[in-house]
């Protein structure tokens, strides 16, 4: 019998040490080292001769079939959009999100949409009766759905090979354990090895496997970072349990775009698709108040209108506060510096709060002008025109730079009844006249602010 030895492994990054450490030298996490028992390595002489069957097949590029594989449509349009058109056969997909955000609900509704497909739902956190109650509440009706309450990886893989379903769901990877590893379920070693076994199974059998994962307090998926590199697709399910709307975002996708999002509304009957997110994010906007500007952002191929809000108040502290929700904090600092340098608007004695309404996170630089306009609107206490949509990236010199795919943004604004669209002057020559909406081209941040207020 192999002699066991003890090592300490960081539960954040997977770094190991022969002794316990208070702070991980690799990732800097505090008190993240956990004791794990491992078997001593077997000497090379004791392993026996290497088998000839272990040699891998080598093929030329011409011998590999290049036909595009068919995707499995889930029946949920927003879900299929995020996946790139559906579930790729033999792929392994990691779904992460906060507790109670609706991960299991999404998986259950996907089972309902996959009517006629065989599915194996493996749960390690709930009983079969709980799964049954949720299915009845959501109206799940799929005769090909099989349930299994198990956490032993060997039994799970045996069932997958025996049943050979089209789609398998493992809920969750943190409760699954490999009996050949001494560490506890949810540890770095267990999560990594269980995912590796499931990935090999998916590639060799063609079963599409969904893995549900927990997240840490920082919002990242629990387990080693290598977990996200191993899987084909990483989906983040975002949203507060107290809010109605949920956003499914792609962090990684080998078979599609990483910029697509799906918007859902949580109701009594589960998750409902939001086909027009722009109207949802603007449904509660205030009219006639300062510090509010509408902008058009792009999430993948979808233009979405959102409300950029700002609040500028005199600071009661020695150092003024800078807070950004749904917007990059460092970009906010840059915009404040440009406003002070190019427009002479000094905010060194003011607190500045910026928020993208609706809970959406915006990374598109074309929303710069709208955020800057909201800040100046709140600073001067002058309401912006409620019928205007603003798009434009601000450079350090105060210039308004070209925005990408501006025609789609204009079409979305016109569809929702907006009358004016402020855009970079460099984009004006690339688009024709649009009936029903006035286009205003601006070349500098000063002209952009004047067009907004």
* 222 within a domain of the structure (yes/no): yes
Q: Do the bridges between strand 388-390 and strand 420-424 make them parallel or antiparallel, or are there none, so unpaired? A: parallel
Query: Which has the higher per-residue pLDDT, 269 or 377?
Result: 377
Q: Are residues 395 and 297 part of one domain?
A: yes
What is the structure's pLDDT at 291? 94
Q: Are residues 208 and 239 part of one domain?
A: yes
Q: Are residues 166 and 89 part of one domain?
A: yes
Tell me the mean pLDDT in the region 202-219: 84
Q: Are residues 224 and 293 part of one domain?
A: no
Percent of the chain residues past pLDDT 70, beyond the cut: 89
CA pair distance 71, 335, nearest whole angstrom: 44
* 48 within a domain of the structure (yes/no): no
Q: Are residues 245 and 286 part of one domain?
A: no
Of the pLDDT bands very low, low, confident and very high (cuts 50, 70, 90), residue 392 is: very high
* 174 within a domain of the structure (yes/no): yes
Furthest-apart CA atoms within the chain: distance in Å: 81
Please say if the pLDDT value at position 107 is more than 90: yes
* 308 within a domain of the structure (yes/no): yes
- Compute the half-sphere exposure of residue 104: CA atoms within 13 Å on the CB side of its CA: 20
Q: Are residues 293 and 312 part of one domain?
A: yes
Q: Are residues 195 and 236 part of one domain?
A: yes
Contacts of 244 (CB under 8 A, 6+ apart): 265, 266, 267
What is the structure's pLDDT at 11? 74
What is the structure's pLDDT at 384? 93
CA pair distance 269, 71, nearest whole angstrom: 27
Q: What is the CATH number of the domain that holds 127?
A: 3.40.50.300
Least confident of 96-105, 121-130, 384-393, 436-445: 96-105
Q: Are residues 200 and 291 part of one domain?
A: no
CA pair distance 291, 279, nearest whole angstrom: 20
Q: Are residues 165 and 84 part of one domain?
A: yes
Last residue of a domain, one of 229, 246, 275: 275
Query: Which has the higher per-residue pLDDT, 64 or 186?
Result: 186
Please say if the pLDDT value at position 139 is more than 70: yes
Query: Which has the higher per-residue pLDDT, 453 or 379?
Result: 379
Nearest to 395 by CA among 319, 312, 338: 338
Please say if the pLDDT value at position 147 is more than 70: yes
* 319 within a domain of the structure (yes/no): yes
Q: Are residues 260 and 155 part of one domain?
A: yes
Of the pLDDT bands very low, low, confident and very high (cuts 50, 70, 90), residue 73 is: very high
Of the pLDDT bands very low, low, confident and very high (cuts 50, 70, 90), residue 116 is: confident
Of the pLDDT bands very low, low, confident and very high (cuts 50, 70, 90), residue 55 is: low
* 64 within a domain of the structure (yes/no): no
Last residue of a domain, one of 210, 241, 275: 275
Q: Are residues 382 and 405 part of one domain?
A: yes
Please say if the pLDDT value at position 106 is more than 60: yes
Q: What is the CATH number of the domain that holds 379?
A: 3.30.230.10
What is the structure's pLDDT at 125? 87
Q: Are residues 405 and 318 part of one domain?
A: yes
Average pLDDT, the chain: 86
Please say if the pLDDT value at position 433 is more than 70: no
Overall pTM > 0.75? no
Query: Is the peptide bond preceding residue 172 cis, with omega within 30 degrees of 0?
Result: yes
Last residue of a domain, one of 250, 275, 300: 275
Three-state secondary structure along the chain? CCCEEEEEEECCCCCEECCCCCECCCCCCECCEEEEEEECCCCHHHHCCCCHHHCCCCCCHHHCCCCCCCEECCCCHHHHHHHCCCEECCCEEEEEECCCCCHHHHHHHHHHHCCCCCEEEEECCCCHHHHHHHHHHHCCCCCCEEEEECCEHHHHHHHHHHHCCCEEEEECCCCCECCCCCCCCCCHHHHHHHHHHHHHHHHHHCCEEEEEECECCCCCECCCCHHHHHCCEEEEEECCCCCCEEEEEEEEECCCCCCCEEEEEEECCEEEECCCHHHHHCCCCCCCCCCEEEEEEEECCEEEEEEEEEEEEECCCCCCCEEEECCCHHHHHHHHHHHHHHHCCCCCCEEEEEEECCCCCCCCHHHHHHHHHHHHHHHHCCCCCCCEEECCEECCCCEEECCCCHHHHHHHHHHCCCCEEEEEHHHHCCCCCCCCCEEEEECEHHHHHHHHC
Q: Which domain holds residue 298?
A: 280-452
The string of pLDDT tens digits covering residues 122-133 is: 999 899 999 999
Please say if the pLDDT value at position 3 is more than 60: no
The string of pLDDT tens digits covering residues 311-320 is: 999 998 888 9
* 56 within a domain of the structure (yes/no): no
* 414 within a domain of the structure (yes/no): yes
Report how many domains make up the chain.
3
């Amino acid at each position: 019998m192999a002699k066991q030895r003890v090592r300490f492994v960081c539960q954040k990054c997977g770094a190991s040490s022969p002794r316990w450490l208070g702070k991980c030298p690799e990732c800097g996490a505090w008190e993240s080292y956990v004791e794990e028992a491992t078997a001593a390595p077997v000497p090379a002489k004791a392993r026996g001769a290497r088998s000839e069957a272990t040699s891998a097949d080598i093929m030329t590029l011409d011998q590999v079939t290049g036909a595009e594989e068919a995707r499995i449509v889930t029946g949920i349009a927003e879900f299929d959009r995020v996946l790139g058109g559906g579930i790729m056969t033999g792929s392994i997909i990691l779904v992460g999100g906060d507790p109670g955000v609706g991960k299991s609900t999404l998986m259950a509704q996907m089972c309902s949409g996959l009517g006629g497909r065989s599915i194996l739902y493996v749960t390690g956190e709930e009983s079969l009766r709980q799964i049954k109650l949720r299915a009845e509440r959501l109206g799940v009706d799929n005769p090909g759905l099989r349930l299994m309450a198990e956490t032993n990886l060997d039994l799970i893989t045996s069932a997958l090979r025996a049943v050979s379903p089209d789609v398998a769901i493992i809920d969750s990877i943190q409760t699954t354990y490999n009996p050949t590893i001494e560490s506890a379920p949810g540890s770095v070693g267990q999560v990594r090895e269980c995912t590796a076994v499931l990935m090999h199974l998916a590639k060799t059998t063609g079963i599409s496997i969904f893995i549900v994962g927990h997240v840490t307090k920082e919002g990242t998926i629990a387990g080693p970072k290598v977990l996200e590199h191993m899987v084909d697709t990483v989906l983040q399910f975002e949203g507060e349990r107290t809010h109605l709307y949920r956003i499914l975002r792609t962090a990684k996708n080998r078979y599609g775009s990483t910029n697509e999002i799906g918007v859902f509304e949580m109701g009594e009957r589960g998750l409902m698709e939001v086909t027009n997110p722009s109207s949802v994010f603007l449904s509660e906007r205030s009219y006639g108040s300062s510090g509010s500007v509408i902008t058009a952002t792009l999430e993948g191929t979808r233009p979405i209108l959102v409300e950029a809000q700002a609040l500028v108040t005199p600071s009661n502290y020695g150092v003024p506060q800078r807070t950004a929700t749904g917007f990059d904090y460092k970009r906010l600092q840059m915009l404040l510096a440009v406003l002070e340098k190019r427009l002479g608007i000094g905010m060194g004695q003011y607190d500045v709060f910026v928020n993208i309404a609706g809970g959406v996170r915006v990374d598109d630089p074309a929303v710069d002008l709208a955020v800057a306009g909201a800040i100046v609107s709140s600073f001067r206490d002058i309401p912006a025109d409620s019928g205007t949509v603003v798009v434009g990236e601000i450079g350090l010199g105060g210039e308004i730079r070209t925005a990408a795919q501006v025609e789609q943004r204009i079409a979305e604004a016109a569809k929702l009844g907006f009358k004016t669209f402020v855009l970079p002057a460099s984009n004006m020559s690339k688009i024709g006249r649009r009936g029903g909406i006035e286009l205003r081209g601006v070349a500098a941040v000063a002209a952009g602010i004047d067009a907004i207020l």
